[in-house]
Amino acid sequence: MQAEPPASTLSLVATDELGFLKVAQSTSPATNHLQCVRRWGKADKSRGIERLALLPSSDAGPDLAAVGRSNGDVDILACQHGTQARLLSCTTAGKVRVHEGSHQAAAGEAGAADSSMAWQQVAEWQAAQVPVCCAAVSSEAGLAAVGCRGSELSLWNISTQQKAFQAKGAKPNKLGLMDPPWNSALAFVPAAAGRKLFVGTGHHKLRLYDVGRARPVLNVDFGEGRLTCLAPLSGGDSCWAADSTGRVQILDARTNKPQSSLKGAGGAVLARMDDLFT
């Protein structure tokens, strides 16, 4: 991964179903357009990327990118610095595993980490009995969030493997109707000590949870498609969100209104975005 882009550049790190890791840039949200400026990988639909996590960052940018592939593999890509890392993975069957690894920085032609990296499993537990659709980690709080289709959001203490929080869905509407549980995207709010996180649903709802309350403090409609990835800004006042129709937009959580939108996605945005706007 190259150094961060110049000031006033918005970069979104994304992936696709063909297995590519990509960086798209816009000089400003006001330009309303994204352009792919970097791409790694080879086209192979059997190894399409379904989840993306950027691991420990430094002043020079992310050290590692962990990608979960459709065939069950987890690859570590684009490392630059020697580091010790902890990787949490969650299967669709609800099995959570934690691995620790160390390596000396080296990168191949496609940006893959040195094959000599050693990983050791240090924890494992069952977090769900229904299909898991998404997961997120708060390193500062040592918490893992698990989102499912069939049950509401849950938070787990990574050190003890015990449940720390169980969410409830939004309150019924005026007709007494509620959306069935379907959490399709999760993201912790930066610098909130794991107490706040945004949740996207398969029923095109964007929610904000505060762990002091079981029900969401925010529950708004977002487009017409399933929410697929989220990237909150520091403080939790705004959140980038993307859905299965290719819509990418920022929501102001204070006013419950959308702000800038970005054009350029040619279909569903499948993996997490990371906001590197400076």
Domains of the chain, residue spans = 10-262
Cα–Cα distance for residue pair 105/55, rounded to 1 Å: 14
* Token couple for 164: 């720390």
Q: Look at residue 82 in the predicted model and tell me its pLDDT.
A: 39
Q: Which stretches within the chain are classed as H helix?
A: none
Cα–Cα distance for residue pair 120/122, rounded to 1 Å: 6
Give the pLDDT mean for 208-231: 91
Give the pLDDT mean for 43-52: 86
pTM: 0.70
Give the pLDDT mean for 135-147: 93
Please name the fold of domain 10-262.
Answer: Methylamine Dehydrogenase; Chain H (2.130.10)
Confidence band of 196 (pLDDT split at 50, 70, 90):
very high
Least confident of 11-20, 32-41, 207-216: 32-41
Q: Is the pLDDT of residue 270 over 80?
A: no
> Residue 2 CA to chain centroid, in angstroms?
21
Q: Is the pLDDT of residue 84 over 70?
A: no
Please report how many Cα atoms fall inside a 13 Å half-sphere around the Cα of residue 113, on the Cβ side. Answer: 26
Cα–Cα distance for residue pair 45/105, rounded to 1 Å: 28
Residue 230 contacts residue 1 (beta carbons within 8 Å) = no
Q: Is the pLDDT of residue 28 over 70?
A: no
